[in-house]
Amino acid sequence: MAQSSVFSRWALAMAWVVAAGGLLGCADDKPAFRGVDITGADYAQGWVLSDQEGQVRTLKDFAGKVVVVFFGFTQCPDVCPTALQEIAEAKQLLGADGARLQGIFITVDPERDTPELLKAYVANFGSDFVALRPTLEQLPKVTKDFKIYYKKVEGKTPTSYTMDHSAGSFTFDPQGRVRLYNRHASGAATLAADVKILLKGQ
Poorest-confidence range of 9-23, 24-38, 102-116, 159-173?
A: 9-23
Position 14 confidence tier, pLDDT thresholds 50, 70, 90 = very low
Position 25 confidence tier, pLDDT thresholds 50, 70, 90 = very low
Query: Same structural domain for residues 62 and 132?
Result: yes
Poorest-confidence range of 27-36, 44-53, 88-97, 139-148?
A: 27-36
Q: Are 106 and 170 in contact (CB under 8 A)?
A: no
What pLDDT score was predicted for residue 28? 55
Query: Same structural domain for residues 87 and 22?
Result: no
Query: Same structural domain for residues 84 and 10?
Result: no
Query: Same structural domain for residues 141 and 117?
Result: yes
Whole-number percent of the chain with pLDDT over 90:
83
For 114-154, the pLDDT digits (tens) are 999 999 999 999 999 999 999 999 999 999 999 999 999 99
* Type of residue at 16: W
79 burial via Cβ count (<10 Å: 0-12, 13-18, 19+): middle
Question: What phi and psi values does residue 21 have, to the nearest 5 degrees?
Answer: -65, -40
- Give the residue from 76, 167, 153 showing the smallest Cα distance to 122: 76
Domain at 133, CATH number = 3.40.30.10
Position 18 confidence tier, pLDDT thresholds 50, 70, 90 = very low
Q: Assign 58 to helix, strand or coil.
A: strand
Query: Same structural domain for residues 70 and 125?
Result: yes
Query: Same structural domain for residues 20 and 109?
Result: no
Average pLDDT for the chain: 90
Instruction: Kindly state the average pLDDT of the residues 81-97.
Output: 98
Predicted TM-score (pTM) of the model is: 0.85
Instruction: Kindly state the average pLDDT of the residues 28-37.
Output: 87
Its domain, for residue 133, covers 36-199
Query: Same structural domain for residues 178 and 80?
Result: yes
Position 23 confidence tier, pLDDT thresholds 50, 70, 90 = very low
Question: Given a cut of 90, is residue 59 above it in pLDDT?
Answer: yes
Q: Say how far apart CA 67 and CA 186 lie, in whole Å.
A: 17
68-90-82 Cα angle (round to 5): 75
Question: Given a cut of 60, is residue 2 above it in pLDDT?
Answer: no
Q: Of 2 and 18, which is predicted with more confidence?
A: 2
Query: Same structural domain for residues 1 and 43?
Result: no
Q: What are the counts of helices (DSSP H) followed by strands (DSSP E) for the chain?
A: 5, 10
